[in-house]
Amino acid sequence: MKILVLNCGSSSLKYQLIDMDDESVLAKGLVERIGIAGSCIKHTKTGMDAVKRDVDFPTHTEAIKYVLDMLVDKKYGVLKSLNELAAAGHRIVHGGEDFTSSALVTPKVIKGIEKVIPLAPLHNPANLQGIKAVQAVLPKLPNVVVFDTAFHQTMPPKAFLYGIDYKYYEKDRVRRYGFHGTSHRYVSQRAAEILKKDPKKLKIVTCHLGNGSSITAVDGGKSVETSMGYSTAEGVIMGTRCGDLDSAVVVYLAEKLKDPKAVSDEVQKKAGLLGISGVSSDLRDVEIAAEKGNKRAQLAQEKLIYGVKKYIGSYAAGMGGIDVLVFTAGIGENGIGFRKAVCEGLDFMGIKVDAKKNDCRGKEVVISTPSSRVKVMVIPTNEELVIARDTKACVEAAAKPAKKTAVKKTAAKPAAKAAVKKASATKKATAKKAAAKPVKKVVTKKAAAKPAKKAAVKKTTAAKAVAAKPAKKAVAKKPATKKTAAPKKK
């Protein structure tokens, strides 16, 4: 089974073609600047160098069509025909409370995604464009949606509710949703696999650290707490996002700027590492500036490290312990010095890192010492593989109900036959009882015997047969109704 995984942004499209027989990536690529001058595509066939082409892509539909053409290209393609595609899997940022797992795309699912657009106004519309583009080019291809928020729907109310009037949750669903769920789910499950442990018996803290960062407490394989909330701005400071912020500061900014969009930009696009350092939103640039003595850069770096430490400690407390600590995503997978700084001072929790093992980038490694009570790991995330696996599962599950129904119908036949037999027996019994009463009346009058034979065809009683003679007279004279009553009086 070959599955096309798509991650659509407002002006971009990332894709991978995965062969689910061995979960290998056959091809991948990126389309940039969709709907903007200078759009292009970078396509890589596994085992070959990437090829880049400048192509005009007015909409996602043209981009999807070009990607499909590349997949069947004689030189750079990996498919003989598009008929080899089994399905397309789409990353959807926000599923709200309605979607707790991945789903096969239907009109109802589309409406559900549109319903929560106010919760992710920048992401969900773009994600929907990808789905509609595939439907336009390949109308018969099954589409599956995988939600970033779904993994966190196992959080209990005490973790996801805000301390404001409950009516805002009841009416407007204002609550903490959490994001990067696909990544947290993958690395937590992968950690259990590597350690050969039952995930249901592990307490894991996963740190997805990149330009966007979130930390999650995974207890028994389920998310029970996560740092991001109603939006992607909550939690630790990020590239341009503020992280945890007192609501009074938002009120202050609103009064000062008098523009909701300006306030949003301040906390979403001008804050975080960029806002504090004044240098860059990229931690690598901030680290270089910090090494050169830039005080604000040093402060930005320290604040991020401090924030991650706080979340690790609080989540361990919330779960009543910690067995595994996982680092993933851009900073988590490649930040050698960053990981060391985060783990320093956590000895009291049983966390000890081996300096030599920690000297690695982008590969699966247990970096803790043998004596460390907590296993500290680096696991590169693979959200595309999770999307592909869920897509396969949804497509296969959609085919199963038909088989089950057939079995149920077959099993229902004996019961149906039995019901028919019972009904038939009931009718016969009723007929016998009905016939039994008139027989007593017929015994007193032999003249009624002949009409009874004619009436038997209609399964009537002997009493109706007695009424048959007056009926003949009634043809000539209607007042015969009085005479029909006479035999009954006798």
Length of the chain: 490
Residue 204 pairs in a beta bridge with 218, 324
Q: How many CB atoms lie within 10 A of CB 27?
A: 23
CA dihedral 62, 67, 70, 72 (to 10 degrees): -100
Write out the E strands in 294-374.
324-328, 365-366
- Does residue 148 have an active-site annotation? yes
Contacts of 13 (CB under 8 A, 6+ apart): 6, 7, 30, 31, 34, 60, 63, 64, 67, 130
Residue type for position 107: P
Instruction: Give one DSSP letter per residue of 345-360, joined into a string.
Output: T-GGGT--B-HHHH--
- DSSP assignment string, 409-447: HHHHHHHHHHHHHHHHHHHHHHHHHHHHHHHHHHHH-GG
As a whole number of angstroms, the distance between CA 431 and CA 333 comes to 84
Torsion angle in degrees (nearest 10) through CA of 96, 101, 102, 105:
-60
Cα distance between residue 233 and residue 110, in whole Å = 26
Helix/strand/coil for 273: helix
| Helix axis angle, 283-291 to 295-319, nearest 10° | 120
Query: Residue 202 and residue 46: Cα distance in Å, rounded?
Result: 36
SS3 481: helix
Contact 216/223 with Cβ under 8 angstroms?
yes
Tell me how far apart the alpha carbons of residues 205 and 327 are, in angstroms, rounded to a whole number.
9
Closest by alpha carbon to 89, among 366, 389, 298, 380?
389
d(C-alpha 210, C-alpha 117), whole Å: 24
Please tell me the distance from the alpha carbon of residue 331 to that of residue 346, in angstroms, as a whole number: 19
Task: Of 348, 342, 366, give the one whose Cα is nearest residue 356.
Answer: 366
Catalytic residue among 148, 219, 323, 390: 148
Cross-strand partners of 85: 2
Non-local CB neighbours of 463 within 8 Å, separated by 6+ positions: 437, 438, 441
User: How many C-alpha atoms does 198 have within 13 Å on its Cβ side?
Assistant: 3
Residue 301: which of 269, 331, 345, 346 has the closest Cα? 331
Q: Which two tokens stand for residue 195?
A: 């350690």
Active site residues: 148
